[in-house]
Amino acid sequence: MFPHHPHHHHHRRHRRMGPIGSFVRAKLRRRIFAWFLGGILTTGFIVFLVMSVVARVQEPEWARQWERSQEWVGQQFAREWGDPVARERYARQTAELLEANVDLYDPLGTRLLSTGDLCRHSVLEAPVKSNGALLGTVNAPFQVGQPVGIACGWVNQADGLFAHGF
């Protein structure tokens, strides 16, 4: 083996950079980080712009289907609306089939029937019309996979908390 001499540092590949070298190297890291961050933010902004333009130009298919389903529900209830007994029977059958609460309202917003706990937040709000005249509204607050009472209870409790400032 070779004797160790204080001035021979052949085992080190890099020389000590000193304060100026450290500053340049740290500045380079910050610059690289800033470019990556800028690239990510720019990409996100461009994607947002493209999606916004597409959404304005073409109505999403799910929105058209949702509107058609609300119209269909309203039409189904319109057939039974004039007979209060048949209307209630149909509402209860619908609630049982969908596993959802069904609330019926007259044109002025007065509740005619609720098949379960009254829930202030409806997922489905379908106007019931006949010959263009509004007969009432069908509201169905439900969440897929959750019992209606639990879902409405949580939402109504949260409303109460926020209304009273916790």
Element (H, E) at 73: helix 61-80
Record the pTM: 0.51
pLDDT reading at 9 higher than 70: no
Return the pLDDT at 144: 46
Buried b / exposed e along 66-75 (16+ C-beta atoms within 10 A): eeeebeebbe
Give the mean model confidence (pLDDT) for residues 33-46. Answer: 95
Element (H, E) at 47: helix 18-57
Contact present, 122 and 100 (Cβ < 8 Å): no
Q: Which amino acid is at 55?
A: A
pLDDT reading at 37 higher than 60: yes
Confidence band for 166, pLDDT divided at 50, 70 and 90: very low
